[in-house]
Amino acid sequence: MQPLPKRTLQRMALLLCLGFPLAWASRFPLAPGSDLVGRVQEVVATPQDTLLDIARRNDLGYNEITAANPGLDPWLPGAGARVVLPTQFILPEGPRRGIVVNLAAMRLFYFPVPRAGEQPEVVTFPIGIGRMGWNTPLVTTRIASKVADPVWHVPPSIQQEHEKDGDVLPESVPAGPDNPLGDFALMLELPGYLIHGTNKPYGVGRRVSHGCIRLYPEDIADLFRQVSKGLSVRFVDQPDLAGWLDGRLYLQAHAPLAGDAGSAAHLTAMVDAVLAQAHRVPGTAVDWDLVLRIAREGRILPTPVSVLAAPGPGPAH
């Protein structure tokens, strides 16, 4: 891994003093036969807290913290309010290698290659993604290059969009506090798309970009240090995630990027996700009434849906 520049280390030290997480807050061991990492937690809000402050301190995005706390005002949760932290995650379906970006969950998963004798791990960060009309393609690509202090060369399409609103953008924006790419950028072999930082961190966990993937400044600094040119990057759209933990089948639901969370199409996709996992362990019985409630509620906290614990630790990977 590359050492971080002195300026970045100073910024990360400041963030730590302010209560923001560093890399190890989002690094989890991968237990054999398990599809879940982390655990749900709870904190108590102070008079000065917003849900956005609490989210960033715990490496969560806006969408995650608000979905887990539907009864709280995002801007004024209130002193003493108990805030649920949805810091348990079902891993996306598919190969666990390189970077996997689940757009529906607005979360990035990085699977480092373990050293000999070490337990596999996953590092996960919340992300901001493309807004409606600027969707990120569902493809597999690679990191083409790594750039510290990137210059933003403004695409003509974005210049034209801003001109319609009377906002004239320059052809390029130099590195610095006004640069929306932040301090670090991972250029992809997919032309026009990047994984980068941001100068507007509270857009993480929202659909705010023109198709690129945005991370908190402290998260992109850590990811930039760990990954290498040529690493595979796979984009998926998996709002409904099912997986095994300690012999029980769990389900986690995110709002679909398109369509109604309670629609027939969404329910069908959720049932398919549950069936695909249930079939991995013969004899698994599923509480389908609970699955229907999760579909309607968009329950972001992983919930056990198997009626009885299946024998053994779960299916092998």
**Active-site residue set:** 196, 212
The token pair at 40 is 């749900």
How many alpha carbons lie under 13 Å from residue 267 in its C-beta half-sphere? 11
Own/partner pairs for 66-73, CB < 8 Å, 24+ apart? 67/254, 67/255, 67/298, 67/300, 68/300, 68/301
- DSSP secondary structure letters along 148-184: ES--EE--HHHHHHHHHTT-PPPSEE-SSTT-TT-SE
